[in-house]
Chain A
Amino acid sequence: MGETTKTAQHGLSEHSHGFGVPIQTRSERLKSQKLDDFDEISTREEQWRYIGADRLGGLDQADLEEFLGDIETTLAEGVETSWVDADHKLFGSAGIPEDRVAAAGWEAAKAAYLVSIPVSVTDSAQSTLTITSSSKDPAALHIIVEAKRGSDSVVVIDHRGDAILSENIEFVLEDQAKLTVVSIQDWNHGSIHNGAQYAMLGKDSTFKHVMVTLGGSVVRMTPSAYFGAAGGDAALYGLYFADAGQYLEHRIFVDHATPNCKSRVTYKGALQGAKAHTVWVGDVLIRAAAEGTDTYELNRNLLLTDGARADSVPNLEIETGQIQGAGHASASGRFDDEQLFYLQARGLPELEARRLVVRGFLMEVVQQIGVPELEERLAASIEDELERSAS
Chain B
Amino acid sequence: MATLEIKNLHVSVETDQGKIEILRGVDLVIKSGETHAVMGPNGSGKSTLAYSIAGHPKYEVTQGEILLDGENVLEMSVDERARAGLFLAMQYPVEIPGVSVSNFLRTAKTAVDGKAPALRGWVADVRQAMESLKMDPAFTERNVNEGFSGGEKKRHEILQMELLKPKMAVLDETDSGLDVDALRVVAEGVNRIKSENQMGLLLITHYTRILNYIKPDFVHVFVAGKIAEQGGPELADRLESEGYDRYVNA
* A interface residues (Cβ-Cβ under 8 A, vs B): 1, 302, 333, 337-339, 341-350, 352-353, 356-364
- In the complex, chain A residues whose CB is within 8 Å of the CB of B99: 356-357, 360-361
| Interchain Cβ contacts under 8 Å between A and B, 15 examples | A1-B94, A302-B97, A302-B98, A341-B57, A342-B94, A342-B96, A345-B55, A345-B78, A346-B164, A348-B108, A349-B79, A350-B79, A356-B99, A356-B103, A361-B98
- Measured between C-beta atoms, what is the minimum distance from A209 to chain B in Å? 22
Chain B, Cβ-Cβ closest to A349: B79
- The residue of chain B having its C-beta at the shortest distance from the C-beta of A343 within the complex is B96
The tally of residues in B whose CB lies under 8 Å from a CB in A reads 30
User: Given A333-B97, A357-B96, A347–B103 Cβ distance below 8 Å?
Assistant: no
Give the residues in chain B near A361, CB-CB below 8 Å. 97-99
Contact code string B84-123 (vs A, CB < 8 Å = 1, else 0)? 0001101001111111100110011001100000000000
Which chain B residues (148-185) contact chain A, with CB distance < 8 Å? 160, 164
B82 within 8 A of A: yes
CA separation between A343 and B145, bound complex, in Å? 12
Checking A339, A345, A347 against B96 with a beta-carbon cut-off of 8 angstroms, the contacting residue is A339
Determine whether B77 belongs to the interface, using a CB cutoff of 8 Å to chain A: yes
Q: For A352, list chain B residues within 8 Å (CB).
A: 107, 111
Asked if residues A348 and B94 are in contact (CB atoms below 8 Å), the reply is no
| CB-defined contacts of A342 to chain B, threshold 8 Å | 90, 93-94, 96
- Shortest CB–CB separation between residue A5 and chain B, in angstroms? 12
Q: A378 to chain B: closest CB distance in Å?
A: 15
Closest to A338 in B: B94
Question: Once the chains are docked, how many angstroms separate the CA of A292 from the CA of B24?
Answer: 68
Task: Tell me the complex Cα distance, A352–B107, Å.
Answer: 9
A345 touches B97 (CB 8 A): no
Q: Is the CB of B98 within 8 A of A344?
A: no
Contacts of A356 on B, CB cut-off 8 Å? 96, 99, 103-104, 107
Separation of A388 and B211 alpha carbons in the complex (Å): 50
Check A344–B97 contact: CB distance below 8 A.
Answer: no
User: B81 contacts which chain A residues (CB < 8 A)?
Assistant: 345
CB of B56 within 8 A of chain A?
A: yes
Nearest first, the 6 closest Cβ-Cβ pairs linking A and B are: A361-B98, A360-B98, A347-B111, A344-B78, A346-B108, A360-B99
B236 within 8 Å of A (CB atoms):
no
Contacts of A358 in B (CB 8 A): 98
* Shortest Cβ distance from B82 into A: residue: A347
Chain B residues near A338: list those with CB within 8 A. 94
Residues of A contacting B77 in the complex (Cβ-Cβ under 8 angstroms): 344, 349-350
A239-B77 Cα distance, complex, nearest whole Å = 33
Task: Name the interface residues of B188-225: CB closer than 8 Å to any CB of A.
Answer: none
Rounded to whole angstroms, the CA-CA distance of A86 and B79 in the bound complex is 61
Q: Would you call B83 an interface residue if the criterion is a C-beta within 8 Å of the partner chain's C-beta atoms?
A: yes
Q: A357-B99, A360-B99, A360-B100 are in contact. Are A344 and B82 (CB under 8 A)?
A: yes
Could you say which of B55, B97, B143 has the most chain A C-beta atoms within 10 Å of its C-beta?
B97
